[in-house]
């Protein structure tokens, strides 16, 4: 833990009001959206990159472990201070600093809220396309550190693709100013790619130049009820061959039931499917809408879709999306054990059926809820805790299940964390997706950026 003397030195760097060790603050700021327990020594809120650098330099001198903290919406414990670390919150470094209309770039401090960047882009007649349920509270610095994905990856890619430049305070306390918005810059190793997705283990993202793009026109969503997983994948192939999509999401009948019941929402269509798809596209003109309708009708004729509805207004578009976006928060009351898996899209059908088989054989009493970004190979597996089971026993049995699931995942060369990162919760599974050699190289690289090992120690790997 932190001595009083060091606490005072830190307070001198940022001002008394920008550091705290009050117990309720520690437990609030010391954790993310997982159920892990915070054990933070103090929380500090630097106001600018100079203060941030001074904190990191002091931490190097005094060998203080730091946990970078952004919107704390993570699901793998990457921002949890579990071992008495100093939490460094980027919350107050939240200005949008420079917009360039020709280059379509904007410089953001790390603490800018995702939704604020989206709104800013819209004011400029442009679009920031990385979007997900927690966009109202997640921060850009956290998005970059976890290479956030979300619901539009199919068309727009991950956060990685939207970073044009990064200003970082490395673990050694140096400022690294990379790329500066160039589209083309083949001058040695592309170091900024290492920081993207490093979960704060190499340094702090202080500032980022983000790319913006053309606003999509008249986004429209088609919800289809489908009879089976194989039908779902056929619908995906049929639509991908037939038109350009901006999103292709799915969820199960069980997920729909829980969301409509809990939130007292109407079911979207008459027929009951095993799964539902949300197919989003830009309805730029009538021809595109006709094409979507034709594809939908072909799916009905082939029996791979049972029913469906296309949004006719912005309100209907929002309410159809709500059925998908509320799933995660509605499921929270069942304290689900979550996995965020990906396999190559062509392997999904086989893989999902295998996972269901494993669970139904080893734990037939557990309810499984699937949803996610099936268009890009990424599914969210949620195993609900039965009421009669306590959380510890449930988690323990799910960990045993996980090992079985991951053995199969590894045979498909899949990812144990498609978009949520490794943090603390997925560390034991990292070896299913990355080889010993890769992990050894990561450790060697960390040593270059963070020689004293003060940056988020114990996250990703030990």
* Phi/psi-derived region of residue 46, left when phi > 0, alpha when psi is between -120 and 50, beta in every other case: beta
Please enumerate in sequence order all residues whose Cβ is within 8 A of that of 57, keeping only pairs 6 or more positions apart, or say none: 173
State the Cα–Cα distance between residues 158 and 153, nearest whole angstrom. 6
199 or 326: whose CB is closer to its own copies? 199
At 11, give phi and psi (nearest 5°): -60, -35
Q: Which residues share a beta bridge with 203? A: 170
Burial 428-447 (b: 16+ CB within 10 A, else e): ebbebbbeeeeeeebeeebe
Q: Which residues share a beta bridge with 340? A: 380, 417
177 or 271: whose CB is closer to its own copies? 177
Q: How many CA atoms lie within 13 A of 381 on its CB side?
A: 28
C-beta of 130: minimal distance to its own copies in Å? 13
Contacts 24+ apart (CB under 8 A), 357-366: 358/401, 358/404, 358/405, 358/408, 359/383, 359/401, 359/405, 362/400, 362/401, 362/404, 363/397, 363/401, 366/401
* Phi/psi-derived region of residue 106, left when phi > 0, alpha when psi is between -120 and 50, beta in every other case: beta
Please enumerate in sequence order all residues whose Cβ is within 8 A of that of 379, keeping only pairs 6 or more positions apart, or say none: 250, 341, 342, 348, 352, 370, 371, 372, 373
C-beta of 308: minimal distance to its own copies in Å? 23
141 or 268: whose CB is closer to its own copies? 141
In terms of C-beta density within 10 A (0-12 exposed, 13-18 middle, 19 or more buried), how is residue 154 classed? Answer: buried
Residues in the chain: 462
In terms of C-beta density within 10 A (0-12 exposed, 13-18 middle, 19 or more buried), how is residue 200 classed? Answer: buried
280 is written with which tokens?
């989003």
5 is written with which tokens?
């003397």
Collapsed DSSP state (helix, strand, coil) of residue 339:
strand
C-beta of 51: minimal distance to its own copies in Å? 20
Residue 361 is given by DSSP the state H
Q: How far is residue 131 CA from its own chain's centroid?
A: 9
State the Cα–Cα distance between residues 85 and 88, nearest whole angstrom. 9
């Amino acid at each position: 833990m932190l001595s009083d003397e060091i606490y005072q030195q830190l307070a001198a760097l940022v001002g008394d009001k920008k550091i705290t060790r009050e117990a309720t603050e520690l437990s609030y700021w010391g954790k993310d959206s997982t159920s892990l327990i915070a054990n933070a020594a103090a929380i500090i809120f630097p106001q600018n990159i100079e203060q941030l650098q001074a904190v990191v330099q002091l931490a190097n001198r005094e060998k203080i472990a730091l946990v970078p903290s952004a919107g704390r919406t993570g699901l793998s414990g990457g921002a949890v201070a579990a071992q008495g670390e100093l939490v460094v919150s980027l919350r107050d470094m939240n200005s949008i600093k420079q917009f360039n209309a020709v280059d379509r770039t904007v410089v953001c401090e790390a603490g800018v809220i995702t939704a604020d960047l989206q709104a800013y882009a819209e004011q400029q007649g442009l679009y920031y396309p990385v979007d997900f349920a927690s966009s109202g509270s997640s921060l850009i610095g956290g998005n970059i550190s976890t290479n956030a994905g979300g619901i539009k990856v199919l068309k727009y890619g991950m956060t990685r693709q939207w970073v044009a430049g990064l200003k970082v305070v490395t673990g050694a306390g140096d400022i690294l100013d990379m790329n500066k918005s160039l589209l083309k810059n083949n001058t040695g190793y592309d170091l900024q790619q290492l920081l993207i997705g490093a979960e704060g283990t190499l340094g702090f993202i202080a500032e980022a130049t983000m790319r913006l793009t053309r606003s999509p026109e008249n986004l429209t969503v088609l919800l289809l009820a489908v009879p089976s997983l194989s039908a779902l994948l056929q619908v995906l192939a049929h639509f991908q061959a037939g038109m350009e999509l901006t999103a292709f999401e799915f969820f199960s009948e069980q997920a729909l039931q829980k969301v409509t019941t809990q939130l007292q929402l109407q079911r979207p269509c008459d027929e009951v499917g095993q799964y539902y798809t949300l197919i989003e596209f830009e309805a730029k003109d009538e021809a595109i809408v006709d094409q979507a309708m034709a594809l939908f009708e072909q799916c009905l004729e082939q029996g791979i879709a049972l029913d469906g509805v296309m949004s006719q207004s912005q309100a209907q578009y929002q309410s159809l999306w709500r059925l998908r976006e509320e799933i995660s928060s509605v499921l929270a009351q069942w304290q689900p054990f979550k996995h965020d898996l990906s396999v190559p899209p062509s392997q999904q059908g086989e893989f999902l059926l295998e996972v269901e088989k494993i669970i139904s054989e080893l734990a037939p009493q557990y309810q499984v809820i699937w949803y996610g970004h099936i268009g890009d190979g990424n599914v969210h597996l949620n195993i609900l805790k039965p009421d009669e089971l306590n959380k510890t026993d449930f988690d323990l049995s799910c960990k045993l299940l996980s090992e079985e699931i991951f053995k199969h995942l590894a045979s498909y060369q899949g990812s144990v964390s498609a978009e949520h990162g490794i943090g603390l919760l997925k560390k034991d599974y990292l070896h299913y997706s990355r080889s010993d050699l890769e992990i050894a190289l990561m450790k060697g690289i960390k040593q270059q950026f963070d020689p004293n090992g003060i940056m988020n120690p114990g996250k990703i790997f030990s």
